[in-house]
Structure 1
């Protein structure tokens, strides 16, 4: 579950939002009153959501957004006229006075977005090592010499057979090399 950090200049505001979230089943990792505290805590976590106000004693929300590590999203809560100044596409905004239902539904949307991003990261293919690339190249060369294939045909042959057998390309290349 993504981390939640709540940051407002007044600790009472942060605690009020924390209490609402906890009552609705969310776990809040930290409440802060300065941007520096948020950055310090965020750097210790993998990803998450920063729920914050417009201005802190040490920085503006836009500066805080620039300091956040990759994987964090920001939910800015401010008055409607302050939100008009927010032109950042990566910041989700809610205007004051805030409705509990709006806060919860917005948070759910942000959670889904983070879950989608995590899944996409996991599904990215891992880069092959030089050793693995060399094994595949050797198998291609063997296929090209013995079967008069082009490099592209040899690659497709290894790829198709690895998919058909449910093995990865490196394992299929090793099988081809051991057979020939």
Structure 2
């Protein structure tokens, strides 16, 4: 479930929106009245949705958007005449007066989009550090030397053992090196 931060300059409005979202089953982790508070709340999250008004005491929504990481999306709740400025990336606008079903439908759509993005990020392999690459190469070299394996066979061996033991290749390479060097 995607975590949400509610940001409105009027605290009572922010609390009402939070209560509405919580009743609809959404996970609201913070209620803020300034952009700085919202930024602090967002820093504790890996991603999320910011549900906000147009202006706060310290900044406007566009400045807040600039401070947020790309993993965050923003739902701007504002009157229609302010929408012309709402052309920033990762900002979706919803008009006032607010209709509950439009709000919940929009947030569900945003949650689904974020879930797809999370899945895509997980599919991208993490780049290994030079030390990690070196460990894997050492383990492969040792397997090739002692077990008369090709480089491809040694790589496949480390890969299969790491999958079987539910560990990563670097940990398996360390294990192979410690066992075979003793």
**TM-score greater than 0.5 by the shorter chain:** yes
In the alignment, what sits opposite 1:127? 128
Shift of 1:131: 5.3
Give the match for residue 56 of structure 2: 56
Please list every run of 5 or more consecutive structure 2 residues that lacks an aligned counterpart in the other structure.
145-150
1:102 matched to which residue of 2?
A: 102
TM-score of the two chains, using structure 2 as the length reference: 0.72
Q: Secondary structure at the match of 2:36?
A: helix
In structure 1, the residue matched to 2:23 is 23
Structure-2 residue corresponding to 1:6: 6
Larger Rg: 1
Task: Report the Cα distance in structure 1 between the residues aligned to 2:126 and 2:5, rounded to whole angstroms.
Answer: 31
Q: Which runs of structure 2 are paired with 1:69-148 in the superposition (5 Å)? A: 69-123=69-123, 124-127=125-128, 129-130=130-131, 132=133, 136=137
Please identify runs of 4+ aligned residues in structure 1 that moved more than 3 A.
128-140, 156-171
- Paired residues, what number? 173
RMSD: 3.5
Unaligned runs of 5+ in 1: 144-153
For the 8 Å contact 2:7–2:52, the answer to whether it is kept is yes
Q: 1:27 and 1:118 mapped to 2: Cα distance?
A: 17
